[in-house]
């Protein structure tokens, strides 16, 4: 298993809408993520900063790099574009986070 972490941002006042849209995540998008190898995906909000922190655990053998080219992912990005900073292709602006500390039970 591997872990990916990254940060995104929300436009001010969009936390409730972001949660609502994710509570109603499209089944075909959820399935695409699972099919690509995701086993656990969590997104946390730093509300005062409007910052989202994502933690994604995926299988070693995965096809996550192909997801941006899928119609469902492109449609999701366009759907989310109005509530968060996005690139011209509608993908969310994100920054990979570097791991600095890890504690695990032996």
Question: Annotated catalytic sites, by residue?
Answer: 22
Stated length of the chain: 106
**102 domain residue, yes or no:** no
**Does any domain span residue 101?**
no
State the pairing for strand pair 51-58/38-46: antiparallel
How many structural domains is the chain composed of? 1
- Domain assignment present for 25: yes
Query: Per residue of the chain (106 residues), what is the pLDDT tens digit?
Result: 999 999 999 999 999 999 999 999 999 999 999 999 999 999 999 999 999 999 999 989 899 899 999 999 999 999 999 999 999 999 999 999 999 999 989 9
**Is 29 a domain residue?**
yes
**Residue 103: inside a domain, yes or no?**
no
List of long-range contacts for 18-26, beta carbons under 8 Å, 24+ apart? 18/45, 18/52, 18/80, 18/83, 18/84, 21/79, 21/80, 21/83, 26/72, 26/76
**Structural domain containing residue 51:** 2-96
- Any domain includes 59: yes
- For residue 47, give the CATH number of its domain: 3.30.70.100
- For residue 12, is it within any domain? yes
Q: Is residue 50 part of a domain?
A: yes
Tell me the Cα Rg of the chain.
14
pLDDT value at position 25? 94
Q: What's this model's pTM, rounded to 2 decimal places?
A: 0.85
């Amino acid at each position: 298993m591997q872990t990916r972490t990254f940060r995104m941002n929300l436009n001010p006042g969009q936390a409730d809408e972001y949660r609502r849209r994710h509570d109603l995540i499209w089944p075909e998008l959820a399935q695409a993520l699972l099919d690509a190898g995701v086993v656990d995906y969590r997104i946390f909000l730093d509300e005062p900063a409007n910052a989202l922190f994502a933690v994604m655990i995926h299988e070693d053998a995965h096809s996550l790099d192909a997801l941006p080219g899928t119609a469902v992912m492109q449609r999701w990005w366009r759907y989310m574009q109005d509530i968060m900073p996005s690139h011209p292709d509608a993908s969310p602006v994100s920054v990979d986070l570097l791991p600095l500390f890890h504690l695990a039970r032996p």
